[in-house]
Structure 1
Amino acid sequence: MAFTRRKPSLLLAALLSVAISFLASPASAQGKTGQVTVFWGRHKDEGSLREACDSGRYTMVIMSFLDVYGSGSYHLDLSGHSLAGMGNAIKRCQFLGVPVSISIGGFGSAYSLPTNQSALDLFDHLWNTYFGGNLNDTHRPFGDAWLDGVDMFLEHGTPAEHYNTLALELAKHNIRAGPGKLLHLTATPHCKFPDTRVKEALDTRIFERIHVRFYDDPDCIGYSQKEWNKWTAAYPFTKIYVGLPASPQAAKSGYTDPNTLRNVVLPVAQKASNYGGVMLWDRYYDKRSNYSGNIKNWA
């Protein structure tokens, strides 16, 4: 498949931003949404993707991670999960109304987007390997199943990297067969505002969701209303999620018990018109703690 590319433009970003503005209005408080996103793929013993979707706990699952890219090589790390039958599991999740995204980045150091071309190459890889592309020589680990979105989970990098180019290129392309159905473009930044690793991409104003990680950040120990307000104010037409560990063992810091989340954090966070829901790290720990079960009705 060949693409005719245009350089990302401010006009394109502006038009996409206007389109998104019709889908979300900052005029009033959001309240409960019932949205719970979970990361899956970091522990072989967390159970299958199909099991996660069949649990009924989640409204989006993010597979993690595509952890090598930017230098011509690509690697998907799902912690030893078998890829056999994964395509059918993805289709099962989608049948249940649970979109499945792929997260790029992660905790390693073998990824970067140092040039516009590296970003465009990554787009080609994502599109042809996991979405609607059909290059004959491309290995598709999930067969003919199409994923629903791309998440940016960046643990290192500089503001000069070209994630904005990747975001704009992804935003140009529809996903699946339905006309006008756009790919879910999300980011999962550290809670201290701004996260410079992903700021240039977020400033395109075309992201659907931002999952703010209120954990494992020395500048932001646990949920911070001050930082939450900065995120919700900076991106008023993007849904902002409260990102938390699903148990004390899931992160070095930032655990908030379900009772405190229900009674203290969410009633305040939901005053934001662009409150989106809760993101949990991760399925392995949530399966053992039932954190999502304890908070889903309040999310």
Structure 2
Amino acid sequence: MASNHAQSIPLLLLSILAFSFFTIPSDAVSVAIGVVNEGLFTYVLSVAVTGPASNVQTPVLNLASRRDSASSCSGVFPDIQACQSQGVKVFLSLKGSFSLPSPLDAQQVSEYLWNNFLGGQSITRPFGDFVFDGINFDIEAESGQFWADLARSLKARSSQKKLYLSAEVPCIFPDAHLGSAIEAGLFDYIWVRFYNNRQCEYRENADTLLASWNQWTQVNSSRILLGLPAAPGAALSGYIPPEVLTSTVLPLIKTSPKYGGVMLWDTFYDQQNGYSAAIKNSV
């Protein structure tokens, strides 16, 4: 699979359609068109965890919201390996509604992620020696305030190879779950979802979106990305036609030195609608 697509990688430079390398279910991957010199990031797998972290023995790999055994990763591995070999950063997205009720729980989750997906060692590594480039925090927990502890612990374990951390948050400012970690400057990238949140997304004009964007660009992170649905059916609200995005929205938000690009949800809708192809030259 991967070898059939790898030859298109030299077209990368600053914008790349990483989803073209993946055959995993559509809603497991987001597309990001980046303007930073580190290439494009894409989320490939999610670690789904429920309940307090202290009660979790083995988090479950979740492809497209389906709980699959670790053995199912064998079909995905060649594709993500091909992406990484061409300079595409591959993130593991930490999703779910679990909580971190104590610093000890944060330390335990950090140890599990490090040993199974990053630079550590474990006999239970689903991808063997493959090391993800970063961890994405997509947290919806109603309790547990120790995400900053988890982020710090992961950062502390990163020495020989830089470990990137990103946060995926709704556009409502500030974020209710990752606020303290964001304030501490622990995330290299923040992906702000300007959809499914009518109070801060694009509506008749860009006023509410721009007001929220200006708030997010003040946080302690080097790059902020504009998260959008790739088609009207990809989200309940917030879709911006590509011609409106390129003519009205991008010229406004690109004035920020923290502008990092556009994130689209998700690959299936992008392939159907051709959204990334329509905007990539303007990003």
TM-score in same-fold range (> 0.5): yes
Taking the aligned partners of 1:219 and 1:156, their CA distance within structure 2 comes to 21
The Cα shift of 1:294 comes to 1.1
* Counterpart residue number, 2:259: 275
Residue 126 in structure 1 maps to residue 113 in structure 2: yes
Cα distance in 2 for partners of 1:86, 1:185 equals 22
Contact 2:25/2:63 (8 A) holds in 1: no
**2:164 aligned residue:** 184
**Given that residues 128 and 134 in structure 1 are in contact (C-alpha distance below 8 angstroms), is that contact kept between their aligned partners in structure 2?**
yes
Aligned pair count reads 248
Task: Give the residue type in structure 2 aligned to 1:119.
Answer: A
Q: TM-score, normalised by structure 1?
A: 0.75
Q: Pick one of 153, 170, 173 that aligns with 2:157.
A: 173
Of residues 54, 62, 76, the one that matches 2:43 is 62
Q: Say which of 232, 246, 249 aligns to 1:248.
A: 232
What is the deviation of 1:292? 1.0
Q: Does 1:195 align with 2:175?
A: yes
Q: What RMSD over aligned residues (CA atoms) do the two structures have, in Å?
A: 2.7
Given that 1:37 and 1:280 are in contact with CA atoms closer than 8 Å, whether structure 2 keeps it comes out as: no
How far the C-alpha of 1:46 sits from its partner, in A, is: 2.8
1:205 aligns to 2:207 (yes or no): no
The alpha-carbon deviation at position 155 of structure 1 amounts to 2.2
- Report the counterpart of residue 115 of structure 1 in structure 2: 102
Stretch of structure 1 that moved more, 166-175 or 247-256: 166-175
Alignment partner of 1:212: what SS? strand
Counterparts of 2:101 and 2:27 in 1: how far apart (Å)?
36
1:157 to 142, 145, 154: 142
Of 195, 201, 208, 1:215 maps to 195
Report if the CA contact (8 A) 1:35-1:276 is conserved.
no
1:41-56 matches, cutoff 5 A: 45-46=25-26
Identity of aligned residues (%): 35
Report what 1:261 is aligned to: 245
1:158-183 CA distance string (max 9 Å, x none): 4x5210001111111227xxx4x311
Aligned 8 A contact 1:174 1:183 in 2: yes
| Unaligned segments of structure 2, at least 5 residues | 1-12, 33-38
Tell me the equivalent position of 1:143: 128
Identify if the C-alpha distance between structure 1 residues 271 and 47 changes in structure 2 by more than 3 Å, giving closer, same or farther.
closer
When residues 152 and 45 of structure 1 are mapped into structure 2, their CA distance, relative to the original with a 3 A threshold, is closer
* Aligned counterparts of 2:167 and 2:228: Cα–Cα separation in 1: 15
Could you say which residue in structure 2 is the equivalent of 1:83? 73
**Which residues of structure 1 form unaligned runs of 5+?**
1-32
CA shift, 1:115, in A, is: 0.9
CA gap of 1:37–1:174, structure 2 versus 1, over 3 A, is farther
Structure 1 residue 196, shift from structure 2 partner: 1.7
Q: Deviations over 1:106-161 (max 9, x none)?
A: 4xx3x11111111111111111111111134xx11112111110011122334x52
Helix, strand or coil at the partner of 2:131: coil
Partner of 1:3: none
Q: Deviations over 1:187-235 (max 9, x none)?
A: 0111011012110111121211001100012432336000100010123
Paired residue for 1:29? none
Verify the 8 A CA contact 2:49 2:56 in the aligned structure 1.
Answer: no
